A and B are shown apart, each in its own frame.
Chain A
Amino acid sequence: MGITTGPPAGPASGVRQALRRGRAGSRVGTRAARTAPRVGPDGRRRRRVELTPYLFLLVPVGLLVTFTYVPVMNMVGYSFTDWNGISKDRDVVGLANYARIFGGPEYFEVFFVSLYYFAASFVQMGLALYFATVLSFSTRFRNLFKGILFFPYLINGVAIGFTFLYFFRPGGTLDTTLAALGLEALTTQWLGNPDVINVSLAGTSVWRYTGLNFVLFLGAIQSINPHLYEAAELDGANRWDQFRWIILPSIKPVVTLSFILAVSGSLAVFEIPYVMTGGANGSETFVIQTIGLAFEMRPRRVGLASAMAVVLLLFVLLITWIQRKVVPDEKVNLT
């Protein structure tokens, strides 16, 4: 029974007593709710007790509704209008904005750019997994390396954009480094060459986000029971076998999560290309295109941009749903 595990009632101030009563009461209450008439305290008390979890939820849900659901609802509303973002009046145009988006290929061509980032996310996960595995075993300067790998994720995206702008410019850090290594032949206009620009930008993205993946993987790997390695070693498993049959299966949920984030992330790439090129030279992504319509067109086309944002949201939801179907959540069980 809940009450017996509660703290023993001793001489305490009224407030504390009240608190305790409340706490004890809540245990009684929840149990009472489950096994209906067995405890059966008076009705008033029961009601207050049932409200407690909802009171705790009130603040986070309130914030979520205010800053996420209401704006999204507004956005969906705008997407059926021709609003310019400023005007006090707007006309409802029905599905015209959606018809326009799905009417031609030009709005979707930009998704081609997302493929670069999607491919890059595999490189990113591979690198992160590699480093996480290596650093999960006892390695010299382990914490230093952890810090170095995670550091880029802590830097503001705009700062990263500017740093890499100097890194990639002709005669910049990358060119100088290549020249020092005698590899001048490889230099190109890293951002000026339309065949290379998206690779450069995706590379920047890998540099930035590898640290996050790394920390997620490392955390998962470190939660593996070390006895398993010992047992595996006794059975003659080498490091690769340990990785393949112990580490990978144990962290599968985290890998799946990273994969979902990678897909939706690559559809919604924004910060790095926007800061570095503003979407010029074939680096425009869907979100940059949306921003352009919403804020840079004169007059602005907030209605159309909202419709595009809704389309993107639906895409991400759809892909996540498909993924959940194809790769269902499994319980990890190594024993």
Chain B
Amino acid sequence: MRKRTVALAAAATTLLAACGGDDGGQQAGADGEIAGDITVLTNRTDIVDTVFADYKAAFEEEHPDVTVTFEAITDYEGEVTTRMSTADYGDVLLIPNTIAPADLPDFFEPLGPVDELAETYRFVRGEQAYDGQSYGIAITGNVQGIVYNKTVWEEAGVTEIPTSPDEFLDALGAIADATDAVPLYTNYADGWPLTQWEGHRGTISADPEAANLLAETDSPWAEGEEHFVIDSLLFDAVAAGLTEPDPITTNWEESKGMLGRGEVASMVLGSWAITQMRDAADDPDDIGYMPFPHQVDGTFHSTAGGDYKNGINVNSDNKAAARAWLDWFADESGYATDQGGLSPRLDGPTPDTLADFEELGVEYVELAPAEPGAESLVNDIDAEAEIGLWNPDYRQRIVDAARGASGETKEQVFDDLNARWAEARAAVVGT
């Protein structure tokens, strides 16, 4: 098994070298030899000295000529994007989320044609790809849903998983009546947990094209549209007083323990959060995971997407060794499964964190890539409109409106968002 993968990695490297040769830009290390020192950047400051140290030992045993050094960075996005203005940003690194697809070739080594990699790996089609080339392999994959405390939900007499937003709100109401728990915790103050709601693009329509279709509509917040459904649920829950009383003083780290102790009943978060919640709970079995309360043709759906992707610095001196690490990390390290995520490999195992989803028969939706040339269209419209779909501000505004702090109604907020989107779309597509 191990030998075979080595052979595979070697084959892949040769292929890469060959590709480079075609372009006349032969630069894939010294004869593509897997040797030398490589630096790997990671955001996992918590496990860099434990789990990653084991990875290093296992990898170096296979490739004795390679020495791996880790650099764990707390403010990963901020620091790495700054360092990217130099050539010194490690050999293998997690591609920052803020890199626009069109900028990928300037900073990262192509890993191979998307069509080829897609035979082995998930999440390579739509993410970190440009012009038919893939630039990153996911370290793990996430699906989207709601973490909840099973005991609290049972105490409130809710035993069926809600299948519609109304049922979900009723369930939250029952929790508010029957228990002392906060039915739905938004984590408003930390901000980024609110961006998790955006991950449900595709969950509502069960359409892989959901994200791309945003570029073709003037009113993403019109009734029945994905953003209408997602944001309405948030708005209605807050308006009904089913969220924390003072959103401005929430605290992410505390919220984990609160869910575990049953002081919070549910939170909308990606599947990556399940392991963390279990670790913080007295009884890990209390933590359950349910899909977004919406069904298409009687089936739940959940958007599956890659987490950070490992990419190779285009300035690396030891690209072959870097590639070997990248492949080894995706194929053999077992990182994804250990962290409770979907394996980046199509034939990878399903983690036990998603047992609840298996039971409910949730179908995963992997978002399709945009048409060539339109890769950054949705982002461009979003930036031009200054809505910031992936920014906390946008959903903080919805929460503020819902709790009556800003004096806006749901219609006013949605109308304003639609108007700005339409105007920005005209400006971006029109030019």
Contacts and interface: CB of A to CB of B under 8 A. Distances in A.
Contacts of A192: 245-249, 403, 405
Contacts of A189: 245-246, 248
Given A170-B246, A297-B386, A278 B191 contact: yes
Interface stretch (B35-43, B94-102, B162-170): B94-102
B283 interface: no
A181 interface: no
A299 interface: yes
A233 interface: no
A145 to B, nearest CB: 32
A137 to B, nearest CB: 42
A301 to B, nearest CB: 6
Interface of B: 78, 81, 84-85, 97-100, 102-103, 106-107, 188-189, 191, 245-249, 376, 379-380, 382-383, 386, 388, 390-393, 396, 400, 403, 405-406
Given A87-B100, A277-B189, A278-B191, A297 B388 contact: yes
Contacts of B400: 194, 280-282
Interface in A105-137: none
Nearest to A168: B249
A280 B248 contact: yes
A87 B103 contact: yes
A59 interface: no
9 contacts: A85-B98, A191-B249, A282-B406, A292-B393, A296-B391, A298-B97, A298-B98, A299-B376, A299-B379
B98 A280 contact: no
Interface of A: 84-88, 165, 168-170, 172, 189, 191-194, 197, 277-282, 292-293, 295-301
Contacts of A165: 249
Contacts of B102: 87
B383 A297 contact: yes
A297 B391 contact: yes
Contacts of A172: 249
- The interface residues of chain A, by DSSP majority, are classed as loop
A286 B81 CA distance: 24
A281 B98 contact: no
B246 A278 contact: no
B106 A87 contact: yes
Contacts of B191: 278, 280
B383 A298 contact: yes
B248 A277 contact: yes
Given A192-B405, A194-B406, A295-B78, A281 B248 contact: yes
Contact of A193 (B97, B382, B393, B405): B405
A197 B248 contact: yes
Nearest to B103: A87
A3 B393 CA distance: 69
Nearest to B102: A87
Nearest to B405: A194
